[in-house]
C-alpha cells in the first residue's frame, strides 16, 4: 500500500519505490530503500512527516504516493 494511506504513529517498512528513475533515485538518497523502517510522525490529506534513518522528512502527497510499504 502507498505510505500516504498510513496514519500518525504507524511503523512501516519500505516495500518498493515506484515512479520515474529520477524520483526513485531521489527517494533512495533520502533513505527510502527496500526494507528500511519508517515511522509516521504526522499525516494530513496525503502530506506527511516521517522519520527514516534518524532523519525527519516532509513528503508531499505526490512523493508519498510513490513509496509502497508493508505494515
Tens digits of per-residue pLDDT, 8-40? 999 999 999 999 999 999 999 999 999 999 999
How many CB atoms neighbour CB 64 within 10 A?
A: 20
Overall domain count for the chain? 1
Q: What is the CATH number of the domain that holds 27?
A: 2.30.30.90
Q: Name the residue range of residue 47's domain.
A: 3-70
Sole residue written with cell 512527516: 49
> pLDDT grade, residue 54 (50/70/90)?
very high
Greatest Cα pair distance in the chain: 30
> pLDDT grade, residue 46 (50/70/90)?
confident
Amino acid at each position: 500500500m502507498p505510505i500516504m494511506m498510513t496514519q500518525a504513529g504507524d511503523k512501516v517498512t519500505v516495500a518498493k519505490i515506484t515512479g520515474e528513475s529520477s524520483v526513485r533515485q531521489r527517494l533512495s538518497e533520502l533513505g527510502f530503500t527496500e526494507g528500511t523502517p519508517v515511522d509516521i510522525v504526522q499525516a494530513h490529506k496525503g502530506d506527511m512527516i516521517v522519520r527514516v534513518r534518524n532523519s525527519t522528512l516532509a513528503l508531499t502527497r505526490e512523493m508519498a504516493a510513490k513509496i509502497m510499504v508493508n505494515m
